[in-house]
Amino acid sequence: MSRPATAPGRLRVIWEPGSDVLVGVCHCGAEHRSEDPASIWRWLLSHPDHGSDTR
C-alpha cells in the first residue's frame, strides 16, 4: 500500500490582505501565490515536485 507523503494538516493557505492573491505555504517552507484556490491546493499537494516558487 502506498500513501501520499504529504500531510494536508501541515499545509496553509493564507489570503494576502489588500489583494486577491492567496499564498499557499507548504510544510517544507515553499510558498506559492495564485488567485485561484484550486491552483494553490494542486501546487501544495504536488509537494515533492513544486520546489520553491518565490525564490
Q: Which residues sit at the interface with Zn ion, rule CB under 5 A?
A: 26, 28, 30, 47
Q: How far is the CB of 55 from Zn ion (least distance, A)?
A: 13
Q: How far is the CB of 48 from Zn ion (least distance, A)?
A: 7
Q: How far is the CB of 13 from Zn ion (least distance, A)?
A: 13
Pick the closer one to Zn ion by CB: 12 or 19: 12
Helix (H, G, I), strand (E, B) or coil at 27: coil
Give DSSP secondary structure letters for 6-22: --GGG-EEEE-TTSS-E
Query: How crowded is residue 12: how many other Cβ atoms within 10 Å of its Cβ?
Result: 13
